[in-house]
Amino acid sequence: MKKNAPIKATRDYSIRIVIYGLRSDKEAAGDLLSDVGCFLQHPYAAEVIPGVQYDNPHYLIRPDAEMPKLENLSLDALDDDPTHTEIRDEVNKGYFLQIIESAGADGGAVTGVNTSSSPRLRTQLMGHQIMALAMMHEKESGHIEEPMFPSLWRKEVVKNSKKVYYRHTVTGSLEPRPIPAMGGILADDMGLGKTLSVLALICSSLDLNPTVIDQDQKARHQGTLIIAPKSTIYSWMDQASEHIHEGQIRIKVYHGSGRESLASQFCNTDVVVTTYETLRSEWEASEGIRPLFSWKWLRVILDEGEQILVYI
């Protein structure tokens, strides 16, 4: 390189890849990609060779249903010019990624949220993850008095009376003391770190108290059960190793033959990761060999929650 040569400005480019193959290899290809955190999106109709049948192993289809036609899935079906739609989509995606990447990982920009990260975490949370953590804390607590996040119950004072009731925003029913849902849905878009947000929640609860006593049943609730597709269970292990300091969380996979021997270790485990297939097999089994249903879990997390439609 010549001295004092002008440095050319670098540019960011995006690439779109359409994969073709045998339908018999569909599931294997889908598992291979999901194992490394890659998930196939719908292509534009103009990108696909005419006459080739479209199928996506990462698109959830109900049992006995067929894959929808690409023209009913692609965004460019809404636009007269596919090229313009594609360009606009890529530009918008670029702006979106810039916003996310420039958000900062200090969590200090979130107004009105007093939720600090656990010292068990080695990864700092971004603002939207701090917000997610606060939301999950509130939903798990069952707090309905002046909630920070939208609630199913709205406080009302009955006319000509000082009695306070709570109206359900969906059914419209009134209750003096409503039973809280004690849970919620974390539906951030792909790539925004939902796994890290959930790990932050688990670490936060471990800092407070790993065991909860149910005063009604006098039962001890301990540990978090994570139910995930088979292709992602070891991804949880990798994410925990990446984001949590060594020795700060006890996590095990409950899957495969001989897994019943791990049931005796539930009391010494903070997180148990299992699959929907394992859960269903134990549900269908006899009462005596159902460890997942015998243990009192502190919380249950459904990863890729739409999977429950497949197993109902």
Q: pLDDT tens digits, residue range 300-309?
A: 999 887 777 6
- Does the pLDDT of residue 108 top 80, yes or no? no
Mean pLDDT of the chain: 76
Q: How far apart are CA 285 and CA 32, in angstroms?
A: 31
Q: What is the pLDDT of residue 81?
A: 46
The label of the residue with tokens 């192993």 reads 57
Instruction: Tell me the pLDDT band of 241, cut-offs 50, 70 and 90.
Output: very high
Specify whether the CB–CB gap between 272 and 224 falls below 8 A: yes
pTM over 0.85: no
| Segment 265-298, tens digit of pLDDT | 888 889 999 999 988 888 887 666 788 888 888 8
Which structure tokens are listed for 310? 């497949």
What single-letter DSSP state applies at residue 121? B
Output b/e per residue, 290-307; b: 16+ Cβ within 10 A.
bbbeebeebbebbbeeeb
Q: What is the pLDDT of residue 115?
A: 61
Domain boundaries, the chain: 23-101, 143-181
Q: What is the pLDDT of residue 171?
A: 83
| Segment 169-228, tens digit of pLDDT | 888 888 888 877 788 888 877 778 889 999 999 998 888 876 655 555 555 668 899 999
Question: Regarding predicted confidence, which is higher, 45 or 98?
Answer: 45
Q: What is the pLDDT of residue 7?
A: 54
Q: Find, among 93, 43, 51, 95, the residue nearest to 73 by Cα.
A: 43
Strands lying side by side in the sheet with 174-175: 153-157, 164-168, 174-175
Measured from the Cβ of residue 98, the count of other Cβ atoms closer than 10 Å reads 11
CA dihedral 270, 275, 278, 279 (to 10 degrees): 70
Which structure tokens are listed for 51? 């006459």
Judged on CB neighbours under 10 Å (0-12, 13-18, 19+), 277 is middle
Q: What is the pLDDT of residue 113?
A: 45
- Does the pLDDT of residue 78 top 70, yes or no? no
What DSSP line would sit under 235-293, residue for residue?
HHHHHHHHHB-TTS--EEE--STTGGGGGGGGGG-SEEEEEHHHHHHHHHS-GGG-HHH
Q: What is the pLDDT of residue 179?
A: 78
What is the arithmetic mean of pLDDT over 117-124?
88
- Percent above pLDDT 70 for the chain: 74
Instruction: Tell me the pLDDT band of 161, cut-offs 50, 70 and 90.
Output: confident
Q: What is the pLDDT of residue 94?
A: 47
- The lowest-confidence range among 95-109, 152-166, 277-291 is 95-109
Whether CATH 2.20.70 fits 143-181: yes
| Segment 129-146, tens digit of pLDDT | 888 888 888 888 877 777
Instruction: Tell me the pLDDT band of 110, cut-offs 50, 70 and 90.
Output: very low
Q: What is the pLDDT of residue 224?
A: 92
Q: What is the pLDDT of residue 152?
A: 82
The label of the residue with tokens 């008095």 reads 145
